[in-house]
Structures are given as C-alpha cells and as structure tokens.
Amino acid sequence: MQAALGQVAIMVARNSDADAVGRSRADRAMERYARGDDSEFAHLYDELAPRLYRFALRWTRSRSAAEDTVQQTLLQIHAARDRFLKDSAVLPWAYAIARRLLVDHTRRGEREELRAEDIHDPTEPTTALSPDEALHQRRVEAEARRDLAELPTSWREAFDLVKFEGLSVAEAAEVLGITRGMVKIRTYRATAALRKATEWRLRDRSERPALRHPGPDDPSEEAMPP
Amino acid sequence: MTHLESLKLRVLQAVAERPVPPRSGRLPSTVLLVVLSATVMFAVIEWVPRLFGGVGGLAHAVGRPASIEVGLVMGIVVLALVSTWISSFLRRSMLSPPRGLLLCVAIGVPLCVGAWITLWHGSYSDPFVPGGLRCFELTLLTAPWPFVTLVYASRRFEPRHPGTVGAAFGAVAGAWAAVMVELWCPVAEPKHVLVGHVLPLLVLVVAGSAIGRRLLRLRRM
C-alpha cells in the first residue's frame, strides 16, 4: 500500500511541474535556451530524455534504437532553436518528433527484441523480487503486452500517450494531429478493450474476446510495432 | 554512469559541434518578403498578359461594375485571410493544426473560390466571351510567391503530416493568387470559372502536397 502511494506521489510530482501560466519546466528551459542561454540545453535534456527514452523503448524494444531516437529528437529541437515560437509547448512537439522517428524506424524494420525485464522506466526504482514473484510479474507483463499489441494502432497510440506517458488529452491530440474528442474516444475504447481482456483472463474462459472493434475513427494510418 | 548519462554527454557534444544561433526577430524579413511577394504578383498581372498581346492590370476588368468587383474581390480576400490564419497561426506549439483542419483548407478553398465567383454570375453581363487558359496560367504564375512566403514565415519542419501542411499552403497561396487574378479577369461564367479559376487551385493543392512532403518533412541529423 505504502509503495503504491509512493508511486502515485512520484507520478503526481512528475506531472505537476507547471507554473502559474501552465508552462512546464521543459517549456521554461526551452524558452531560456531559445533566448540564448546555452546551459539550459542540459536542463532540457534532463526534462525530456527519460520520458522520450521510455516512450521509444516501449515502442522499439531496442536500447540502441531508443537512444538513437532520443538523440535525434533532441538534435532536431536544438536545430530549431532560432525559430522556436515564444510560449509554445515543448512536450507535444518533442513527442511528435520522436513518434515520427519511430514510425520511420519501424518502416525500415529495424528491431531488436529485448526481454521484458530489460524494458523498464529508467527513473523507476528497482526492487528485488522473489523467483515466484518475478515469474508471476513476467507472465502478467507478457499478457498485458500481448493485449496491448492486439489493439488497433490508433487506439494504442492514444492510450500510450495518455496513460503511460501522462500527457494531457490536449497534448496527446497535438502529438497525434487529431482532435481532443478523438483522443478521448480512442483512449476510452482501448481502456475498455483491455479491461475486457483482463476480465476474461480472471474468469479463465476458453474463448478469448477480440480486442479489435474497428470503428469510423480507425484508419490504421501508420504501423506501430507490438 | 547510466546509459542516459552517457547519452547526455554524446548529445551535448553533438550540440556543441553544431551551434545554432539564439532566436532572432524574423518579423522584418517576413514583412519584406510579403511586400516583395505582393509586388511580384502585381507585376505578373500587369506584364504577363501584355507579353501575349492582351491588356494587363486592372484595365482588363473595366467591363465589370466597380461595386461588384469590390464585393467579389473582398470575399476572396476574406477567404485568403481566414485560410492563412488557420494554416499558419492557429497553433499553440511548434506543430501545425490538426490534419482535419488543414484538409478543410486544402479542399475548401478551391470550392469556396469557385462557388463565390459563380454566385456573381448573372448579376452583370460578362464584358466578353472568355477564351484560352489565360486565367489558369496567371494563377499558376502568381501563386508560387505567396507559397514561398508561407514556407519561409513558418520556417519549420512538420513531423506529423508534411504533405497535408504543403497542400494547405498550396491552397492558401492559390487563394491569394485568386485575389490577384480576380482583379484582372471580369468573367464569372461557370465553365470559365471551373477551368480558369478552380482547376489551377486544385493543381496548386496537389503540387503543394508534393513539395511539402519533400520540403517540410523531418530529416535525420
């Protein structure tokens, strides 16, 4: 219980860095960097890199590809320093760049499978598990990954950004280039499908429900790897 | 040292090797480009018809009543301003507006221009029977200048949908070109409007999409 509350506290702390006008630490660092303070780029890295790395690692399941994505994204941001719009949000922009790089990476088919235990949040504290607990955790993670992989790409992307990355609906909408309403719909559908799959597993039914419910908002634009 | 810390050293080293100057005001250069672009567009309308033995400039449209001319052109100016605002200024980050909105611009501008000009058909008698593809050519010759201005003013790469942004820019440039061509062409006959005024806008949307895909896309560094 204490551990769970601690995790929630960490997540809340991570997402509550906005100032009075709603600008995050990353926004403020980028603004200072654009104005000419070279040392701010290191702060910008500290704000963005862990999140982008986690995002890229979950997508590619390859450490080298995730590092390459983070590096490329930050270099693109650096290259746009002289034309950065005053008071613009950095986070959706950074995620959109990373997402594009990852889509291109996927199209090139460069993937290196990692084991489940190799994919973890670099900011998350690691705890020692007993062999039974580790086995159980691995099984649960494998099932969750499989459920997630079976979701339609558009649902999975929205779910990933909102639930895993902690972006607001507005930020996720900017990253994906769709309306806020569409992000809400896709996230809701993904959550409902995952809940259904989990319920099925708990009841141990012999027939697994299909997670795909193609709707009018499911154009399957770009491939996202499982 | 964790892998993120070693990556940080690599990124900071790469950044130090490719210095980029801080943000500078680009309003003066953009304004200059807008003025230059407008001048070139006027020059095209003034001189290109003369090269082919026609009448250049506003004198070509004298057959149409002035009040109708003003109303018609003002309508297209409003359309051009709204589409410019949507495609270039309606954003709160470095990213473009949603794809749906840009598609509305790309598809809506040619349709609105065509519908608006045709709406005036019959309110006055056309001063002459239109011939050839002069309006088509003039639209294509005047549109590249606002297109270049838009790309320069935005000066960005578009990681999500560069083709759609390019198509919207093509439509906006076409709207400004339509303003200029409407100052020159006094004819509102539907068939002529379709071929001479709407078709070039569709060509510009397709060309803008192709150029946007090449010019605005994210390039690896």
Give the pLDDT confidence of A106-165 residue by residue, as tens digits.
887 655 555 544 555 555 555 666 777 777 777 777 787 788 888 888 899 899 899 888
Domain at A129-208, CATH class:
mainly alpha
Least confident of A214-223, B170-179, B184-193: A214-223
- How high is the pLDDT of residue A6? 46
Question: What does the pLDDT read at residue A221?
Answer: 42
Q: Name the DSSP letter for residue A204.
A: T
A-B contacts (CB, under 8 Å): 115
Residue A220 has pLDDT above 50, yes or no: no
Nearest-Cα residue of chain B relative to residue A179: B98
d(CA A73, CA A47): 13
Q: Do residue B23 and residue A76 have CB atoms under 8 angstroms apart?
A: no
- Helix %, strand %, coil % for chain B, to 5? 70, 0, 30
Contact A122 B2 (CB under 8 A): yes
SS3 category, A177: coil
Stretch A9-37: mean pLDDT = 71
Nearest CA in chain A to B6: A67
pLDDT at residue A42 is higher than 90: yes
Whether B95 and A74 lie within 8 Å, measured CB to CB = no
* 3-class state of residue B12 by DSSP: helix
Look at B7 and A71 and tell me if their CB atoms are within 8 Å. Answer: yes
**Measured between CB atoms, which of A45, A88, A104 is closest to B94?**
A88
φ, ψ (nearest 5 deg) of residue B93: -140, -170
Q: Taken in order A184, A189, A194, A195, is the CA torsion positive or negative?
A: positive
Instruction: Tell me which chain A residue has its CA closest to the CA of residue B26.
Output: A83
Is the CB of A35 less than 8 angstroms away from the CB of B23? yes
User: Tell me, what's the pLDDT at A138?
Assistant: 78
Run of H or E including B154: helix B144-154
Cross-chain Cβ contact A174/B96 below 8 Å: no
Convert A76-90 to b/e letters by CB count within 10 Å (16 or more is b): bbbebbebbbeebbb
List the one residue out of B3, B92, B63, B96 whose CA is nearest residue B185: B63
Cα(A15)–Cα(A166) distance, rounded to whole angstroms?
7
Residues in chain A with CB shorter than 8 Å from the CB of B20 are: 78-79, 81-82
Q: Which has more pLDDT, A143 or B82? A: B82
CATH of A22-112, one of 3.90.1300.10, 3.40.50.150, 1.10.1740.10, 3.40.50.1700: 1.10.1740.10
In A16-141, the DSSP E strands lie at none
Q: Pick from A198, A17, A24, A6: which is nearest to A94 by CA?
A: A24
3-state SS, one letter per residue, for A90-126: CHHHHHHHHHHHHHHHHHHCCCCCCCHHHCCCCCCCC
Give the tens place of pLDDT for each residue, B3-47: 788 899 999 999 999 888 888 767 788 889 999 999 999 999 998
Distance from B77 to chain A by nearest Cα, in Å?
27
Confidence band for A226, pLDDT divided at 50, 70 and 90: very low
Domain boundaries along the sequence of chain A? 22-112, 129-208
- Count Cβ neighbours within 10 Å for each residue of A127-146 and write b for 16 or more, e otherwise: eeeeeeeeeeeeeeeeeeee
Task: Say what the pLDDT of residue B52 is.
Answer: 78
Q: Which residues of A touch B91 (CB under 8 A)?
A: 88
pLDDT tops 80 at residue B66 = yes
The answer to whether residues A90 and A26 touch, using CB atoms and an 8 Å cutoff, is yes
Residue B23 vs residue B114, higher pLDDT: B114
Check whether A8 has a pLDDT greater than 70: no
pLDDT score, position B182:
92
